Amino acid sequence: MNGTRALGDRVRKCLEAGALATGCTVEIEESQIYADLVVNPPLCESFQGCMRDLGEPVLAHDELLMTGSTDQGNVSQIVPALHSLIGIPVLDGAKCHTRQFTAAAGTDQAHQRMITAGKAMAMTGWRLLVDDEFYGMARHAFAETMDRR
């Protein structure tokens, strides 16, 4: 059992013990801390096109399974959202949250790639604001995805 689960079990027992000690009842509703990410194809395609236009082509999707968690999944359950991954060149296959990745993220190349990604996100956001047809496509894709759940 991982540390988070063990801590959750301890907190639950404390709440139950407090209720028992005071003659009360307690109802505990547990939910997923981080919800699954809802991918929005129109937003992804627009971002990919903007990155390509800025000279940094990115994949629409990668077959490599990425593990981890993000609260962006929670946001994407409520509104159409974009969650992109931008590759930073690393040595020796370094993974996120390691010293090697931190060093790679501090390079001029990584900085420039993040500036480019920020521009592409801004361009995609601007398009969403000024292009009613594109806005409708993003909303429609979101509604369809949520209806299938």
pLDDT of residue 1: 44
pTM: 0.75
Place of tokens 């968690």: 69
CATH top-level class of 34-147: alpha beta
The pLDDT, as a whole number, for residue 67 is 67
> In the predicted model, what is the mean pLDDT of residues 142-149?
92
Mean pLDDT calculated for residue range 128-137: 98
- Closest CA relative to residue 139, chosen from 129, 52, 149: 129
Identify the band that residue 113 occupies on the pLDDT scale cut at 50, 70 and 90.
Answer: very high
Predicted confidence at residue 5, as pLDDT, reads: 77
Which residues lie below 8 Å from residue 56, measured CB to CB, with a gap of 6+?
113, 116, 117, 120
Query: Hey, what are 85's tokens?
Result: 């991954």
Q: How far is CA 104 from CA 46, 62, 70, 94, 116, in A?
A: 27, 21, 21, 9, 17
Q: What's the 3-state SS for 9-60?
A: HHHHHHHHHHHHHHCCCCCCCCCCCCCCCCCCHHHHHHHHHHHHHCCCCCCC
Report residue 63 as tokens: 């077959």
